[in-house]
Structure 1
Amino acid sequence: MAHSIINSSKAPAPIGPYSQATLANGTLYVSGQIALDPENGQLLNESIEAETHQVMKNLSAILEEAGMGFEHVLKCSIFVKDLNNFGRINETYGSYFKSNPPARETVEVSRLPKDVNVEISCIASK
């Protein structure tokens, strides 16, 4: 199966051997994003809301590079370090989906890259 690699300069560069996203048969698979500022590589984690907003901005940049937006997202996976932050993450996350939110799961994990509090990946299709 042929696929294309999608990379956006408006999202942080991968910190390992993976692509920001791959596009195959009209479906976009976006790697997990954390709250790295793409301009300076710094973590934006002064609050869980600010961290979640930056994650969503990074996802948006990758979706845009593929000619898509949040309205094209079919499914998200949210990984959190502390499920007690779920309500605050959920409120921020939900503000990006005005109607017809995608399917998703939210999972508490013991540790995330760069010790962030939240990481989100998604699958989208036109």
Structure 2
Amino acid sequence: MRHPLLTIGCGAAFGLLLSSCAPTSLARRTINPPGIAPLVPAYSVAIRAGNQVFVSGMTGITPGTQDIIAGGVEIQTRQTLENIRTALRTAGATMADVGECTVFLIDMRDYAAMNGVYTEYFRVDPPARATVAVTALPRPAARVEIKCSAQIRSSEKP
């Protein structure tokens, strides 16, 4: 029996996620930029599938280390977004291509500080976003984690 979502083809649900339903556009590859190594074996920093880029939850890890950058949520948010920018660039995308983000905060009282930095990176047409409070993040010193998805709008393919 076919799954009902699979029968709708290139319209509705799949059309929102994929710019084309042609199998050749769905070439999938792992994106692991130098200096932002995955922390565990069953993890990719990002995945590019066709013109879509899915960036895993990122924290304020200082590139080339496994250490969370010292400082509060503002400094960690900036480093997190720089790590996301690096992953996107490696995949052939930019911050302007980001369509959605999810922000995870240890303390919702950090929302204004996080949002102040976030808006520096998404000044025009910011992506859709959800922000949720969590009780813990995988890195104990982390105050913020952000994941996002992007659709590459340029015709260039790295």
The answer to whether the superposition gives a TM-score over 0.5 is yes
Does residue 1:67 correspond to 2:71, yes or no?
no
Query: What whole-Å deviation, never above 9, does each CA across 1:14-46 have from its counterpart, x for those lacking one?
Result: 112110111112110100001111123321031
What is the alpha-carbon distance in structure 2 between the residues aligned to residue 87 and residue 45 of structure 1? 19
Structure 1: state its 5+ residue gaps: none
Paired AA for residue 118 in structure 2: Y
Greater Rg over alpha carbons, structure = 2
**Larger relative contact order (Cα-Cα within 8 Å, sequence gap ≥ 6):** 1
What is the alpha-carbon distance in structure 1 between the residues aligned to residue 70 and residue 99 of structure 2? 27
1:96 to 99, 121, 133: 121
Structure 2: state its 5+ residue gaps: 1-25, 153-158
- What is the TM-score when the length of structure 1 is the normalising length? 0.94
1:122 to 137, 143, 148: 148
What is the alpha-carbon distance in structure 2 between the residues aligned to residue 39 and residue 3 of structure 1? 25
- In structure 1, the partner of 2:106 is 81
Paired AA for residue 136 in structure 2: R
What is the alpha-carbon distance in structure 2 between the residues aligned to residue 34 and residue 85 of structure 1? 15
1:3 to 8, 17, 28: 28
Paired AA for residue 82 in structure 1: D
RMSD: 1.1
Within 5 Å, which residues of 2 pair with 1:6-85? 6-10=31-35, 12-16=36-40, 17-85=42-110
Q: Report how far residue 47 of structure 1 moved.
A: 1.6
Which structure has more strand as a fraction of its residues?
Answer: 1
What is the alpha-carbon distance in structure 2 between the residues aligned to residue 68 and residue 92 of structure 1? 20
| Percentage of identical aligned residues | 34
How many residues are treated as equivalent by the alignment?
125
Paired AA for residue 58 in structure 2: Q
Query: What whole-Å deviation, never above 9, does each CA across 1:38-79 have from its counterpart, x for those lacking one?
Result: 123321031211110000010000000011111000000100
